[in-house]
Structure 1
Amino acid sequence: MQYTAVLLDLDGTLVDSIPDIAAAANGVLTDLKRPPLPEDVIRSFVGKGSDVLVQRLLRHTYNSEQLDPDEYERAKASFAHHYAQSNGQHSTIYPDVVEGLNAFKTAGCKLAVVTNKPIEFTIPLLDALQLSPYFDLMVGGNTTAQKKPHPLPFIHASNELNVPASQCLVIGDSVNDAQAARGAEMDVLLVPYGYNEGIDIQTLDADAIVSSIKHAAKWATTRSSITD
């Protein structure tokens, strides 16, 4: 295998965390005395970190692009409070994730999670789902000065793992991963089942779209499209 390190997104790539995120987001709305939103609506807010999620939640709720700064700060604190309680409670690992991680490990790859989720929520989620032992490194949304789609999180992971960008493979589910990987000059695979902020992943710049992490490991081994 030509890759020495595999850098994986978390929410929408490894784990379906929408039930826990939606619970926290609706907790914010309860605190604001506003009606709850369906999970599918909240799903469209996910992708660029919890601060942007809260911004999108407030803009949708009040149907306004303008945010009251004080209310925004209260809503951020409310989301952190509620998510600390719900994180990992109902999240599930996507099919074939464990098989794919094992395949990459067997091939001798270093593994890292690179997510826009704050690190204080990333580690407990991976711990709750017993995924932490797979990873040599965890990069959260507040680990570096910039979040994806900025390339800095992937560059940081490459440096920390001491693996050049040309030997890193990114696996994600959205434009954030695709753009950040290209900015870091890394190959990138996308899965079709995640949180893509309403953007068709077929339109994104990626080396391939694979149906699972297991198929990503096959692709990385064969460098060919996976159709089975």
Structure 2
Amino acid sequence: MLSALGYPPVNCSQVKGWVGDGVGSLVRRALTTILGDVPAESLIEQSYVLFQRYYAESVYQDSTLYPGVHETLQTLKSSGLALACVTNKPSRFTKPMLEKSGLTGFFGAVVSGDDLSLKKPDPAPLEFAAEQLGVPLTACVLVGDSTNDIRAAGAAGIPVLWATYGYAGRDDIEQDATHGAIDTIFQLCECLQVAG
């Protein structure tokens, strides 16, 4: 998107700092950083359209699942647990990504960033996912890898298992007593007391 607009490329660590609050926020943060000032709304709109187009073309390109994801989700699902995927990513990207990675069949509910008017860290997407699954929110545990995940779980009053190996590493999130942590997905079944 930036190069198409004539701006210099940025590195992955810069982009990582812009991710997590939806595409609109990502585009706005990128432009603000590059310009050193708040961009004009017309530039934001143009950039948003470009980003959507480029991202749609490469939604699963260069993406790899962590080892053990399929096996762990299969074990959890086979044990009778209802699983949901809740993301701030727009649905037009979420569904193809889940399909291309072979994850679609594991989830009884998928809540994307544009399915509701509120996104994580607001608890509304978690509440909606629990409702879609037909389970009380109090019976849920969120497994997440970002500050927004931890904040959403806290706002919803549910436990969270922070995946330290994911998007936000150990240096990005302060460990405290309000959440547990897993360093690999292989620890998930043990934490949830599900036989593997």
Q: State the match for 1:55 in structure 2.
A: 28
Match of 1:81, SS state, is helix
Aligned residue runs from structure 1 range 96-115, under 5 A? 96-115=68-87
The reply to whether residue 33 of structure 1 matches residue 14 of structure 2 is no
- Cα–Cα, structure 1 residues 206 and 107, in superposed 2: closer, same or farther, change >3 Å? farther
Q: State the match for 2:16 in structure 1.
A: 43
The letter for the 2-side match of 1:131 is L
Query: How many positions carry a matched residue from both structures?
Result: 194
The letter for the 2-side match of 1:201 is I
Q: State the match for 2:173 in structure 1.
A: 201
The CA RMSD over aligned residues, in Å, is 1.7
The letter for the 2-side match of 1:55 is R
The reply to whether residue 187 of structure 1 matches residue 159 of structure 2 is yes
Higher relative contact order (CA 8 A, sep 6+): 1
What's the TM-score once normalised by structure 1's chain length?
0.80
Q: State the match for 1:4 in structure 2.
A: none
Give a deviation string over 1:37-79, Cα, whole Å, max 9, x none: 1122212211111111111111111122x12110000010010
Query: Which of the numbers 93, 102, 105 marks the counterpart of 1:133?
Result: 105
Are the counterparts in 1 of residues 32 and 39 from structure 2 also a CA contact under 8 Å? yes
The letter for the 1-side match of 2:30 is L
The reply to whether residue 218 of structure 1 matches residue 193 of structure 2 is no
- Cα–Cα, structure 1 residues 167 and 198, in superposed 2: closer, same or farther, change >3 Å? closer
Q: Unpaired segments of 5 or more residues in structure 2?
A: none
- Cα–Cα, structure 1 residues 182 and 81, in superposed 2: closer, same or farther, change >3 Å? same
Are the counterparts in 1 of residues 164 and 170 from structure 2 also a CA contact under 8 Å? no
Match of 2:142, SS state, is strand
Aligned residue runs from structure 1 range 59-78, under 5 A? 59-64=32-37, 66-78=38-50
Q: Distance in 2 between matches of 1:115 and 1:69?
A: 26
Match of 2:13, SS state, is helix
- Cα–Cα, structure 1 residues 211 and 199, in superposed 2: closer, same or farther, change >3 Å? closer
The alpha carbon displacement at 1:198 in A equals 9.3
Q: Percent identity?
A: 35
Query: Which of the numbers 51, 64, 67 marks the counterpart of 1:95?
Result: 67
- Cα–Cα, structure 1 residues 74 and 197, in superposed 2: closer, same or farther, change >3 Å? farther
Q: Distance in 2 between matches of 1:145 and 1:198?
A: 30
Q: State the match for 1:12 in structure 2.
A: none
Aligned residue runs from structure 1 range 118-157, under 5 A? 118-157=90-129
Q: Distance in 1 between matches of 2:74 and 2:143?
A: 15
The reply to whether residue 81 of structure 1 matches residue 43 of structure 2 is no
- Cα–Cα, structure 1 residues 39 and 144, in superposed 2: closer, same or farther, change >3 Å? same
Q: Unpaired segments of 5 or more residues in structure 1?
A: 1-27, 223-228
Are the counterparts in 1 of residues 2 and 8 from structure 2 also a CA contact under 8 Å? yes
